[in-house]
Chains A and B, each alone.
Chain A
Amino acid sequence: MTSVTYFPEPRLMLPMTMIRRERLLPDDVDGRLEVRVNDRVTLRDVVARGTNPAPYALIDGERFFRLRNPDDLAKLMQVQIDELVEADQVIAQRGRRRLHSPITGRVTAITGGRIIIQSIPTGVELEAGLNGVVVEIRKGRGVVIETTGALLQGVWGNGKRAVGVLRAEPEGGLSAVTSDEIDIGFRGAIILTRTPLTPLSFGIIGSQQFAGVIAPSVEPLILDLALEAPCAILLTEGFGTMRMSNTSYRFLDELNGKQATLDAVQPSPLEVRRPEVIINVPLPNVGYRAPMPNVYDPLRIGVSVRLARGDHAGFVGEIVDLPNTPVLLDNGLRVRCAQVQLITTGERLTVPLENLEISGA
């Protein structure tokens, strides 16, 4: 890399921050908004509605009635355009010969001797996804919602959302939770666990009606269980058998008992959203406006970073040096690195710049 500055990847972990999130309908869905600017919304409030495309039935009336002129079909119609029809309802008739609709739907067009009926489309509802205030409108597409709270971003989610009280797993971990011993407070809660998810974990998740689970990792072999889980699953570290970093666990553990919203977004190249959990925390005073995350500054000495890979993945440290010349790694790559001093042990490590993340503080 020849650049003289480096902008690290943000993976936010903030005890109190302003949060703005855009909520948009899929770009191939026509929609209408259900809210206005300054409306207060909660996680499950519908902010926009749209319709998915629905299949059509193409009925050849010209052939059915053996018409010489396809335009004559219009005179035989028993229903009009935009009219709702039921399956088997008579839609055209010539003498005793009756043409029935094959589906329930809406008459869309009568053209060229054919009748086109669209089946009832399924609706798309766009939920707010967090508790907050609508601050911007994206006409026909969605809204921008603003809120304040503690925020932790993960790396993967199973595409579901949840709201509930954040509860750290009991001593002994998830496997200690059984139907006989279940603390009623775990039902409907978002459970924090520091150990990788296992098939046993998913069995417990399925039976104990958790609203969501925040875990460090899951093995690819059982990824389907995460996708099929009835609740939202958010991973903080990645795939495999990694444990949650102490920093992340302590951060969330200190928020134990607080109301949280979990948006376990599935990542993709064009997905702007990140899988994250937002926890309600009391404002220090009325009217307090939390700062936005700091994601604009390049790396510099003194910045706190999180190591994303290697033996110390998840550890937090401070940058003590940023050499301009690339460093030769053990594996033979020669890349730009930072010298990072770990907070917990004081150990100094050489870490490629691309393997550092910032928390946004």
Chain B
Amino acid sequence: MTLLRRKKRIDQFLDEQPTLVDPPDARGNAAPPQDLITSILAVDFGNVHTRGILIDQVDGVYRLIGRAMTSTTAGFPLGDASVGMERVIWQIGVETQRTFFRSDGRLITPEQPDRSGVDLVVATASLGRLLRTVLLGLVPNMSAISGQRAAAGTYVDIVGTITLDDDRSAQDQMNAIVLARPDLIFLTGGTDGGAEAPVMELAQVARLASRLMPRGHRPIILYAGNETLIAQLEALFVEQIFLIAENVRPVLEIETLESAQAQLGAAFDSFSAGQIAGFERVGEISRSSILPAAQSLNLITDYMGRTTGDTLVVDVGSAVSTISAYTRGHVSTSIRTDIGLGHSAAATLKAASAQRIRAWLPFVAEDNEINTYALNKTLRPAAVPERVRSLYLEHALLRAGVRTLLETARPTWTPDTVYDDPNQPLPPFAQIIGAGAGLTETGQPGMAALLLLDALQPVGMFRLKLDPGGLIAGLGAIARVNPEAVVQVLDGASLDDIGTCAVVSGTPRANTPAVRVRITNANGVRETHTVMGGQLWVYPIPAGTSADVRIRVVRRGLDIGGKMRLHLRVEGGIGSGGSTGLIIDARGRPLPLALTARGLAAQIPLWYANVTGAALKPIPEDWLTGRVTGDGDAGDTEVKRVRSFITPPRLRGGLLGARGDESPSMDDLTEERTGNTQARRPTTRRGTAARQPDETPNLDDMFGTNTAQPEPPKGKKPTKGDDDLNDIRNLFP
């Protein structure tokens, strides 16, 4: 596909989107015309890191020129996010030997003839208080659940839900809204041309509650219901900010979330600008609103999916994690504000459960050790594990967190129900991209690849990439003003390309040949290799070269993407941290994790060794008997006797662990069947919760935060109409 066609597609997206927030011109700060923009700085604000990228023209083509990362400065001691932005821009200047600031400290814009300065600055963010939202819908399993799904793709905290079958009195419903002090009331309900009176009844409750709130604290109203009521509702809420989105259920069988998500994103944007110290200054410098990072992700994933093949992007942040998937013609983005490796580490433990985290630990670990590790990570979110044991804890948290996030996301990926079952394989993807320091800052591309393969358990063949610089977030913001730059940068291999991965599906027998590979490298040298079941194999292919690869699955019952033989050309990856080239994952799918710590101790260190090329680090026997507890990194390692709960392995299948009749099934061990999907009722007040024996202390009490999540969708998603390039959804405000 030519560059011109791709540009036209992204232009098509942008041209057909209604403008739902003030464009830069409306602020009186006009962005330069697109053809005059040669250099662009994009800054992304996370809870721990602020990242920046510089895009400039090289021989007339936009390319990623530099990137930098620094600590976010919105919190103590500076309390000003713009300082972090300045630091990251300064660092990019040092790296690229360019000057961006005047002597008085002001940013030089536009770019000067001496190449100092920059034409345009754009910004995205995933930090800030969530938008407290009360959801009003007619029917729990229709409009209300669609409203929840729309909210799941944005930085929204649903603090209350009211539906028609709510048995609370009008007074109690009104008080529920008033006492929740929402920033936004999200009103859904009625198909287009359908129910009117019930929707107006709910609207009256919302209006009454709003009028009882102080003028300066009245919530924004977002309406995404029966379109015939728009005029009436505009009149009803004349004294408040009233946003309109497409009906989330225009007809019973169709769900349309993108418009509502875009409006929620716009509301979050205007809300967060007033919440985060320094964002006003960022807005002045960037001359445009700060785009929510998740929206950016959604836009670029959609574009990549349409142009290069089905795409999956997973971003594991400190406080928030996001998955964006383009599959079968549809893009969907899901956010979990209770999953992250830093600020949300303890919340991740609560969301995923200690049992699911322990499923990835190659040693005996009590709940207390896991809990202690997670809690200490919330206190020092940027901390890096220094010891082997703490690395395993960190990565177990990451794997379990992503799998929990995946369970939230998958039901929204397609209108079909086949992918609702998290035990079913992922749909095939052409590329999988990881973001977030936990994935991108390991310094070992093979390790990052292993984490993605374990956490997502994809199948078939695909390209693995990393986004260490926040490129995807930045490109989403750039797309609004210079889509050509986005097209060219994505074409220019700007993400860290780990390599090509081939995953064997089925159950390979351990230590038995599963796959034979014949590689003819760029020099014409031919090599063959047999990949044993239960292992991964990495063949490095230098950047800028390629290799001819023939893969043959040698056992029945196994395949790679449904095929027994593959012949392909594999390009060497390019990345700041190196690349792997070709990865063969012959462990099987579903991933046969051992059920005991001793079994995991035989698997997981081997896998790390497989992907990094380092010597195998066997697990000390003390770790398998529970005599050593504690995370050495926190300085509280102590030796004590702990009752071992390891069941003696009755090996069948050798390396892959016990498979006795009395062993718990994988479902039991990982709670996937019993479900991690029970709703936690949102709480709006701090307090000491009544504690059950053996229960993890209440996070809200410990940290004074509300980490509640809305109830996950239940039931089946309705069938959607055929997707069509002309059926352009709202990708962004």
* Chain B interface category by residue count: 35 or more
Q: Quote the shortest CB–CB distance from A221 to chain B (angstroms).
A: 6
| CA gap between A310 and B131 in the complex, in Å | 38
Q: Is the CB of B379 within 8 A of A335?
A: no
| CA gap between A333 and B390 in the complex, in Å | 12
Q: Is the CB of A354 within 8 A of B382?
A: yes
| CA gap between A197 and B390 in the complex, in Å | 23
Q: Is the CB of B212 within 8 A of A333?
A: no
For the complex, is B134 an interface residue (Cβ under 8 Å from A)?
A: no
| CA gap between A5 and B91 in the complex, in Å | 7
Q: Of B128, B617, B634, which is within 8 A of A238 by CB?
A: B634
Known: A266-B704, A314-B635. A308 touches B383 (CB 8 A): yes
Q: Is the CB of B632 within 8 A of A269?
A: no
Q: Of A159, A224, A309, which is within 8 A of B634 by CB?
A: A309
Q: Quote the shortest CB–CB distance from B242 to chain A (angstroms).
A: 21
Q: Is the CB of B443 within 8 A of A335?
A: yes
Known: A9-B380, A56-B178. A309 touches B386 (CB 8 A): yes
Q: Which of B65-73, B253-261, B427-435 contacts A (4 or more CB under 8 A)?
A: B65-73
Those of B24-56 within 8 Å (CB) of chain A:
47
For the complex, is B524 an interface residue (Cβ under 8 Å from A)?
A: no
| CA gap between A53 and B159 in the complex, in Å | 15
Set of chain B residues within 8 Å of A354, measured between Cβ atoms: 382-384
Q: Is the CB of A242 within 8 A of B47?
A: no
Those of A1-43 within 8 Å (CB) of chain B:
1-7, 9-10, 12, 22, 27-28, 30
Q: Is the CB of B705 within 8 A of A223?
A: no
Closest to A196 in B: B636
Q: Is the CB of B635 within 8 A of A223?
A: no
Q: Is the CB of B375 within 8 A of A239?
A: yes
Q: Quote the shortest CB–CB distance from B202 to chain A (angstroms).
A: 15
Q: Of A22, A30, A223, A332, which is within 8 A of B702 by CB?
A: A223
Known: A220-B697, A333-B443. A310 touches B79 (CB 8 A): no
| CA gap between A6 and B387 in the complex, in Å | 22
Q: Of A1, A118, A238, which is within 8 A of B379 by CB?
A: A238
For the complex, is B140 an interface residue (Cβ under 8 Å from A)?
A: no
Set of chain B residues within 8 Å of A326, measured between Cβ atoms: 443
Q: Is the CB of B380 within 8 A of A240?
A: no
Q: Quote the shortest CB–CB distance from B160 to chain A (angstroms).
A: 13
Q: Is the CB of A333 within 8 A of B442?
A: yes
For the complex, is B216 an interface residue (Cβ under 8 Å from A)?
A: yes
Set of chain A residues within 8 Å of B705, measured between Cβ atoms: 268-269
| CA gap between A156 and B697 in the complex, in Å | 15
How does the 8 Å CB contact mask read for B207-228 relative to A, with 1 for contact and 0 for none?
0100111101100000000000
Q: Is the CB of A7 within 8 A of B382?
A: no
Q: Is the CB of B174 within 8 A of A56?
A: yes
Set of chain B residues within 8 Å of A240, measured between Cβ atoms: 372, 376, 630-631, 634-636
| CA gap between A22 and B78 in the complex, in Å | 12
Q: Is the CB of A310 within 8 A of B68?
A: no
Q: Quote the shortest CB–CB distance from A195 to chain B (angstroms).
A: 12
Closest to A118 in B: B212
For the complex, is B158 an interface residue (Cβ under 8 Å from A)?
A: no
| CA gap between A305 and B75 in the complex, in Å | 20
Q: Is the CB of B444 within 8 A of A269?
A: no
Q: Of A7, A219, A227, which is within 8 A of B87 by CB?
A: A7
Q: Is the CB of A56 within 8 A of B383?
A: no
Q: Which of A128-136, A169-177, A254-262, A271-279 contacts B (4 or more CB under 8 A)?
A: A271-279
Those of A231-284 within 8 Å (CB) of chain B:
237-242, 266-274
For the complex, is B498 an interface residue (Cβ under 8 Å from A)?
A: no
Set of chain B residues within 8 Å of A89, measured between Cβ atoms: none
Q: Of B169, B371, B634, which is within 8 A of A242 by CB?
A: B634
Those of B153-201 within 8 Å (CB) of chain A:
169-171, 174-175, 178-179, 181
Q: Is the CB of A3 within 8 A of B69?
A: yes
| CA gap between A35 and B95 in the complex, in Å | 49
What is the number of contacts between chain A and chain B, taking CB atoms within 8 Å? Answer: 216
Set of chain B residues within 8 Å of A333, measured between Cβ atoms: 384-385, 391, 442-444, 447
Those of A310-335 within 8 Å (CB) of chain B:
310-314, 326, 328-335
Q: Is the CB of B633 within 8 A of A273?
A: no
| CA gap between A220 and B614 in the complex, in Å | 35
Closest to A221 in B: B368
For the complex, is A107 an interface residue (Cβ under 8 Å from B)?
A: no
Set of chain A residues within 8 Å of B380, measured between Cβ atoms: 9, 155, 238, 308-309, 355
Q: Is the CB of A311 within 8 A of B368?
A: no
Q: Is the CB of A242 within 8 A of B636?
A: yes
For the complex, is A228 an interface residue (Cβ under 8 Å from B)?
A: yes
Set of chain A residues within 8 Å of B382, measured between Cβ atoms: 9, 354
Closest to A60 in B: B170
Closest to B390 in A: A331
Closest to B382 in A: A354
For the complex, is A208 an interface residue (Cβ under 8 Å from B)?
A: no
Set of chain A residues within 8 Å of B614, measured between Cβ atoms: 332
| CA gap between A177 and B75 in the complex, in Å | 39
Q: Is the CB of A334 within 8 A of B442?
A: yes
Closest to B636 in A: A240
Set of chain B residues within 8 Å of A3, measured between Cβ atoms: 68-70, 88, 91, 95
For the complex, is B77 an interface residue (Cβ under 8 Å from A)?
A: yes
Q: Of A269, A334, A355, which is within 8 A of B319 by CB?
A: A269
Set of chain B residues within 8 Å of A22, measured between Cβ atoms: 79
For the complex, is A137 an interface residue (Cβ under 8 Å from B)?
A: no
Q: Of B88, B170, B181, B368, which is within 8 A of A53 by CB?
A: B181
Q: Is the CB of B635 within 8 A of A58?
A: no
Q: Is the CB of B635 within 8 A of A267?
A: no
Q: Of B75, B129, B632, which is within 8 A of A310 by CB?
A: B632
Set of chain A residues within 8 Å of B212, measured between Cβ atoms: 56, 108-109, 116, 118
Q: Quote the shortest CB–CB distance from B64 to chain A (angstroms).
A: 12
Known: A55-B175, A58-B174. A310 touches B387 (CB 8 A): yes
Closest to A269 in B: B343
For the complex, is A57 an interface residue (Cβ under 8 Å from B)?
A: yes
Those of B573-624 within 8 Å (CB) of chain A:
576-577, 608, 612, 614, 617
Q: Is the CB of B379 within 8 A of A239?
A: yes
Set of chain B residues within 8 Å of A109, measured between Cβ atoms: 211-212
Set of chain B residues within 8 Å of A70, measured between Cβ atoms: none
Set of chain A residues within 8 Å of B87, measured between Cβ atoms: 5, 7
Q: Is the CB of A227 within 8 A of B376?
A: no
For the complex, is A304 an interface residue (Cβ under 8 Å from B)?
A: no
Q: Of B447, B688, B697, which is within 8 A of A332 by CB?
A: B447
Q: Of A5, A155, A227, which is within 8 A of B688 by CB?
A: A227
Those of B688-704 within 8 Å (CB) of chain A:
688, 691, 696-697, 701-704
Q: Quote the shortest CB–CB distance from A291 to chain B (angstroms).
A: 14
| CA gap between A328 and B169 in the complex, in Å | 63
Besides A2-B469, A224-B691, A309-B385, 15 more A-B contacts (Cβ < 8 Å) are A1-B69, A7-B70, A27-B275, A56-B171, A159-B704, A220-B696, A238-B379, A241-B636, A268-B343, A268-B705, A269-B343, A328-B443, A329-B386, A332-B391, A355-B384
User: What is the interface of chain B, defined by CB distance below 8 A to chain A?
Assistant: 47, 67-71, 75-79, 87-88, 91, 94-95, 127-129, 169-171, 174-175, 178-179, 181, 208, 211-214, 216-217, 275, 277, 318-319, 343, 368, 371-372, 375-376, 378-380, 382-388, 390-391, 441-444, 447, 468-469, 576-577, 608, 612, 614, 617, 630-638, 688, 691, 696-697, 701-705
List 10 interface pairs A-B (beta carbons < 8 Å), by A numbering. A7-B70, A27-B275, A56-B175, A56-B178, A224-B697, A239-B371, A241-B638, A268-B705, A295-B77, A314-B635
The 6 A-B pairs at the shortest CB distance, nearest first, are namely A334-B443, A240-B636, A313-B635, A58-B171, A331-B391, A352-B384
User: What is the interface of chain A, defined by CB distance below 8 A to chain B?
Assistant: 1-7, 9-10, 12, 22, 27-28, 30, 53, 55-58, 108-109, 116, 118, 155-156, 159, 217, 219-221, 223-224, 227-228, 237-242, 266-274, 293, 295-296, 308-314, 326, 328-335, 351-352, 354-355, 360
